[in-house]
Amino acid sequence: RKKVTIQGLHALRSSKTPISMITAYDYPTALACSSSSLTDITLVGDSLAQVALGYTSTTQLTLDEMIHHIKAVSRGTTHPFLVADMPFGTYNESLEETVRNAVRMVREGGVEGVKMEGGVEIVDVVRKLTQVGIPVMGHVGLLPQRHAALSGYRVQGRSVDGARKIVQDALALQDAGAFSMVLEAIPKELANYVTEKLRIPTIGIGAGPGTSGQVLVIDDIMGTWSGHKAKFVRRFADLKSVRDIGVQHYNEAVRDGSFPDPTSESYSMDPTEWTKFL
C-alpha cells in the first residue's frame, strides 16, 4: 500500500470507511502495525509510559524518552501515517518551546504529525504548529495526562455542561487547524454528534462505533497487557499466554538438559582438527 496521507485520511472519512489506528512503541510493534495494509495510522502514544516502560502514569514520560522510541517505531513503519503524542508538559510553557519540542519529534524522530491533549486552552499552540507545517491531531474527552486533575480515568461529557464543553473544544481545535481528533471515553451519542459537526476525521477510543475511525493500544489488541482492562477494550489475540508458555518451555528444556540438541542445535569440530588441537 502507498503511504497514507492526511488527504487519504480525509477521503476515508468522506467515503465513511472506518479509519484504523494502532499504537506502537518500538521496532517490533511498528512492524506489527505495518504488517496489515489496513492500518491507516501508527501512533506512538504516550501510553508508552505504562505499556513499554513500566511507569504508573503518562506524566512521568520525558521528551527524550519519547523521541528514543519514535526513532525505533519510525524504522519499522512503512505505509501508515506516523503520529506521536507530545509528552506531558512539553506543549504548555510557550509557543517557542512547543515548536522546538515538536520540531525535535519530526526532525529526530521522523513523525509526520503530533497529537496533544486539551481543548480551547491549547488552540494557540495548535495554530502555531499548523502554521509551522506540523500537522496536529487533537485529543478531547478523557485526557490521561490530566488524570490527577480529573480525579481518575473516567468517562467524560456525560452531563449537559460536560458535553457542551467537549463540542466547544472539538470545534476550537478544528478551527485552529487540527487535521483529525481523538475522542476518548465519551458517550457514543456525543461522539456521533461531534463527528457530524466536524469536517475532519474523529478517531474514537471508548467512544462507540459512530466515529470516523478507531484506535486501540496494541498490547490491549494482542492481550499482552496485564493491567486494568477498560470496558472499551477488545482483545483480538491472547499473546500473553503464548509468550509465557514459550518462556516456561525454554526454562524447562534448559533445566532438564534437553536444550540444546547436540546435533541439530550445536556446532562440531572436524575430528582431525580436534585431534591435532588436543
Active site residues: 184
182 binds ligand KIV (CB under 6 A): yes
- 41: which 3 cell numbers? 495510522
Collapse the DSSP code of 202 into the 3-class scheme (helix H, G, I; strand E, B; otherwise coil) and give the result.
strand
# binding residues, Na ion (CB under 5 A): 3
Contacts of 57 (CB under 8 A, 6+ apart): 49, 50, 144, 147
Residue 215 interacts with ligand KIV (CB under 6 A): yes or no: yes
d(CA 7, CA 65): 30
* Contact mark string toward ligand KIV, 6..35, x via CB under 6 A: -----------------x------------
**Toward ligand KIV, which CB reaches closer, 226 or 264?**
226
- The stretch among 7-15, 39-47, 62-70, 103-111 that binds ligand KIV (CB under 6 A) is 39-47
Partners of residue 42 on adjacent β-strands: 22, 82
**Residue 9: strand, helix, or coil:** helix
Is residue 66 a contact point for ligand KIV (CB under 6 A)?
no
Stretch that binds ligand KIV, among 8-16, 38-46, 98-106, 260-268 (CB under 6 A): 38-46
**Is 220 a binder of ligand KIV (CB under 6 A)?**
no
DSSP class per residue in 146-197: GTTTTTSS-----SHHHHHHHHHHHHHHHHHT-SEEEEES--HHHHHHHHHH
In eight-state DSSP terms, residue 118 is: B
Query: Which residue number, 43 or 73, has a Cβ lying nearer to ligand KIV?
Result: 43
Residue 215 interface partner, choices ligand KIV, Na ion, none, CB cut-off 5-8 Å depending on type: ligand KIV
Residues found near Na ion in the complex (CB under 5 A): 45-46, 85
